[in-house]
Structure 1
Amino acid sequence: MEEKQIKPELLKQQQIPQIIPAPRNFTLMVLGQVVSIMGSALLRFALSLFVLDQTGRADIFATLLAVSSIPLIAGPFGGAIADRFNRRNLMVIYDFTSSGIAFVLFFLLWRGNNSILLIGLIMTCLSFISAMYNPTVSASIPLLVAEQKIEKANGIVNAVQSLGSVLAPILGSLLYGYLPIDRLIFISFIAFFLSAVMELFIHIPFEKGTMEGNLAKVIINDLKEGFIYVRKEPFIYKSVLLAAALNMLVTPLLVVAVPAILRLVMNSSEAMYGLGNGLIGLAMVFGALTIGFFTKKLRFANVYLWLLGLSVLILPIMAAVLPIVLSTGNLWPFLILMSGAIPISMLISILSIFLISKVQRKTPNAQLGKVMAIIMAAAQCSLPLGQLLYGKLLDTFETQLFLPLLFITLLLVFVSLIAKVGFKNIVED
């Protein structure tokens, strides 16, 4: 299938008339995201705490997260579909489907089926939908805001996602001790359903392209075209590799290691567990909302310094799990742990928005869904590996957790040195 090549500059000029009415549509999309992400974050929080309490084992918890993340490799297919179909309609379909899955889980838990295997299956289905959903949202942003506001728009969307990580643990920790797990799942069902209804009122510019052959053949050809485009653009494929490295080494630190340390090592209460996760999410929100300030200072050439900063911030987390610190009680280990985890969360948010915004600026709309999906898929493919790695390390070095954290720190230093060389010749906007 041949497609007429249009220069990105000309394509952006052609889109200018479509961007004018976008603020209202962007606001509606953000509101829908608020509700949907709150439901999703509450669901993940409730299930993660439920699994930890049911099993009491960090390795099972990490394995469940890793296995349920495998469908995220379907992201490129979601991106290819987002470039072929109306993105508003796709978001509506995905949220309605998520609400249906959440209702099924609610019904089964209500009937007393507490199988960990069942929970893993449900989380896997929701991960598949997320893999299709996320590139659709990311590819819609440049069509709903002016080019000079892309970083700010990405910051808002990222802040909304992080806000769910803040409010859901706080709300979840308050409700978890008073409401059965099935009631919390029902709240998530309502959230997904309301989000889908809100999205029905969004208008996203869409021009249906021609398709030669059946849909499967067209999608495969589109995917091939997307991978070729990514490979030809150095700043994109290097961004992909960096995103994968961060998701393998740093993200599991926040989603596996810190929760396991709080719950299993420090024996934190539901309130402290929720507070810790909430503060980490709040740091993501702060990073996202201040992206405009930091993007003036962040360049490809100095990304390695930010990575070195991340490695240094792991040291307080190492200190928090030392036996001498743990012997002081719960408060000091918690404060020391958060002194590292909070700024790490903030820096990860800033780096993610920086990379995504750069890619969105330079990618034509016809390729945007596929390119964003490839980046997300690469990052998400590395996430299960990181989760399994952390789970195994935490289980193996149960009484000496500072050792695996030191190992991760050294790996991150190595990645920063590679980034220094790899991004040295990248031309900025």
Structure 2
Amino acid sequence: MTKSLNTFNKNFNLMVLGQIISLFGASILKFALSLYILDMTGKAGIFATILAVSSIPIIICSPIGGAIADKFNKRNLMVIFDFSSSLTVLVLALFLFNNKGSILIVGIIMTILSIISTMYQPTVQSSTPILVDSKNLMNANGVVAGVASLTNIAGPVLGGVLYGILGVNAIVIISCISFFLSAIMEMFIQMPFVKQEQSDNIIKSIFNDIKDGVVHICKENPTLLKILFIAMALNLFLTSMIIVGIPYIIKITMGANDTLYGTAQGAISFSSLVAAISIGMFSKHIKISNLYIYLCICALMFIPMAFSVYPSILQTGLAAPFLILVISSMLIFFMTTIISIFAITITQLETPNELLGKVMAILFAGTAAAMPLGQVIYGKLFDLLSDRVYIIIIGVGIVTFFIAIISKVILKDKSAKYNK
């Protein structure tokens, strides 16, 4: 990671360092709150419902955040969003320290943080092409994705230890400090900004900007629309199952402790880090027309995952099923990370800078729209089939395979310029 950072300029490096601090705090907080909810309820349905509700703002706020990112100084926006996150977590800390940390309070706080994160994400993504040149853009996106993976590795491992020893309160304080330090770091970034003239009021202007982004995706660059539909299907069937299923399987089905759960999350995130670091090698081979191959590999990985949770296999002991589950999940995350970085780079290269924030945000909102529904469905399924979760996993594998075939058909020879 250090070698990669030396390739870029000081301002990009400052943004990345700020991301490391901020995402580290967010990672351990999300981990702690997921354990907190599961420990209080023991129900996947409640856990999934809270995740789903906190995801809803992404659908609504992401396009608005993208339009704002294109209209205002991106550096200042990052500072404001991190300070806001720090203040929000501080409020949660006050509730927890007064023994008022109910499920409702946690749900509200998670929703607020989700709104802030949704506004924050397009700002970072649209800043990357401004801070680095086009020849280094794929690698820069790999670094940004690698940072997320790196913090997700360290966060759950340390979070599992801290949660078991000190409890959720200590993790909330660490997260609050992390967001604050990230905001301070971002204040030193120097980023070019040309203020846009606007004849309409700010609200009308933002919605006109969102409309421009939709037109670009639907009419000017239809390949992005096809990628959006594929991503929505993957979020509905694959990602939602992973988000709800992995914590439930490890904690409830396998009965693993918090530290082992944190280690599993860290190992899975490590695969995303490896994918991000090695994106330079894949950039020469991955194309729009062969994305389906990566999806087929994901589909195959659900077979050993289902095997790992089969009742007779679980009766042999925890070690082997746990290892099979983690390795299968790691390979799935590796492939999906490669696909994600490639799709982001295509969007950045083919979208004018003045539209980039809103276009990426619209794509992000579209893919996120499938998440709440998927999370609620899988929450119900895991509670209903708690002793036969392998059925759910096999079903997801079959659906993923069909998505791969569909992607091959609709993307074949559709955009030769992406395949050079």
Q: TM-score, normalised by structure 1?
A: 0.94
* Alignment partner of 1:32 is 2:21: no
Of 213, 227, 237, 1:239 maps to 227
- Offset, 1:241: 1.4
Q: Distance in 2 between matches of 1:62 and 1:427?
A: 41
* Alignment partner of 1:71 is 2:60: no
Q: Distance in 2 between matches of 1:192 and 1:81?
A: 21
Correspondences of 1:11-160 after superposition (within 5 Å): 23-73=9-59, 74-160=61-147
**Structure 2 match to 1:193:** 180
Q: Distance in 2 between matches of 1:388 and 1:149?
A: 40
SS in 1 for 2:369: helix
- Offset, 1:246: 2.1
**Structure 2 match to 1:428:** 417
Q: TM-score, normalised by structure 2?
A: 0.96
Contact 1:254 1:345 in 2 (8 A): no
Runs (5+) with no aligned partner, structure 1: 1-20
**Structure 1 match to 2:371:** 383
Q: Distance in 2 between matches of 1:316 and 1:338?
A: 10
Contact 1:22 1:143 in 2 (8 A): no
Q: Distance in 2 between matches of 1:180 and 1:192?
A: 20
**Structure 1 match to 2:4:** none
Of residues 300-309 and 28-37 in structure 1, the stretch that sits farther from structure 2 once superposed is 300-309
- Offset, 1:369: 0.4
Contact 1:236 1:359 in 2 (8 A): yes
Q: Distance in 1 between matches of 2:405 and 2:131?
A: 37
Correspondences of 1:308-387 after superposition (within 5 Å): 308-387=296-375
* Alignment partner of 1:396 is 2:384: yes
SS in 1 for 2:360: helix
- Offset, 1:254: 2.8
Q: Distance in 1 between matches of 2:8 and 2:153?
A: 28
- Offset, 1:396: 1.4
* Alignment partner of 1:289 is 2:311: no
Amino acid at match of 1:82: A
Runs (5+) with no aligned partner, structure 2: 1-6
* Alignment partner of 1:304 is 2:289: no
- Offset, 1:226: 0.8
Q: Distance in 2 between matches of 1:304 and 1:282?
A: 23
Q: Distance in 2 between matches of 1:284 and 1:115?
A: 33
**Structure 2 match to 1:10:** none
Q: Distance in 2 between matches of 1:26 and 1:319?
A: 44
Q: CA RMSD in A?
A: 1.2
Q: Distance in 2 between matches of 1:115 and 1:428?
A: 53
Amino acid at match of 2:201: N
**Structure 1 match to 2:257:** 269
Contact 2:164 2:259 in 1 (8 A): no
Amino acid at match of 1:314: F
Q: Which string of whole-angstrom CA distances, capped at 9 and with x for unpartnered residues, describes residues 287-322 of structure 1?
A: 111111112111111111111111101111100110
Contact 2:228 2:363 in 1 (8 A): yes
Correspondences of 1:179-190 after superposition (within 5 Å): 179-190=166-177
Q: Distance in 1 between matches of 2:138 and 2:125?
A: 12
Q: Distance in 1 between matches of 2:139 and 2:182?
A: 22
Contact 1:291 1:350 in 2 (8 A): yes
**Structure 2 match to 1:6:** none
- Offset, 1:28: 0.2
**Structure 1 match to 2:200:** 213
Q: Distance in 1 between matches of 2:141 and 2:17?
A: 14
Q: Distance in 2 between matches of 1:101 and 1:69?
A: 17
Q: Which string of whole-angstrom CA distances, capped at 9 and with x for unpartnered residues, describes residues 194-224 of structure 1?
A: 0000000001111011111210010011111
Of residues 29-38 and 314-323 in structure 1, the stretch that sits farther from structure 2 once superposed is 314-323
**Structure 2 match to 1:13:** none
Q: Distance in 2 between matches of 1:212 and 1:418?
A: 44
Of 280, 285, 289, 2:268 maps to 280
Of 396, 400, 403, 1:415 maps to 403
User: How many pairs does the alignment contain?
Assistant: 409
